[in-house]
Amino acid sequence: MVASIIRSARASENKTLTELTFESKGFWNYPEKWFKIWNEELTITSDYIKKNIVYVAESDGALSGYFSVVKRTSDFKIEDVIVEKGYFLDHIFIKPSFIRKKIGTKLITHALKLCKKMGVEKLKVMADSNCRGFYEDTDAAYLGEIPSNIENRTVSLFEYIIEK
Adjacent-strand bridge partners of 76: 83
Can you tell me the mean pLDDT for 56-66? 92
8 Å CB contact between 109 and 79: no
Can you tell me the mean pLDDT for 9-18? 97
Residue 1 banded pLDDT, cuts 50, 70, 90:
low
4-161 — its CATH code? 3.40.630.30
Adjacent-strand bridge partners of 64: none
- If phi over 0 gives left and psi between -120 and 50 gives alpha, with beta otherwise, what is residue 118? alpha
Percentage of residues in the chain having pLDDT higher than 90: 68
Give me the pLDDT at residue 3, please.
63
CA 141 remoteness from chain centre: 16
Residue 164 banded pLDDT, cuts 50, 70, 90:
confident
DSSP label at residue 61: T
Burial string for 84-121 (b: 16+ CB within 10 Å, else e) reads eebbbbbbbbbbeebeebebbebbbeebbebbeeeebe
Burial string for 34-69 (b: 16+ CB within 10 Å, else e) reads eeeebeeebebeeebbeeebbbbbbbeeebbbbbbb
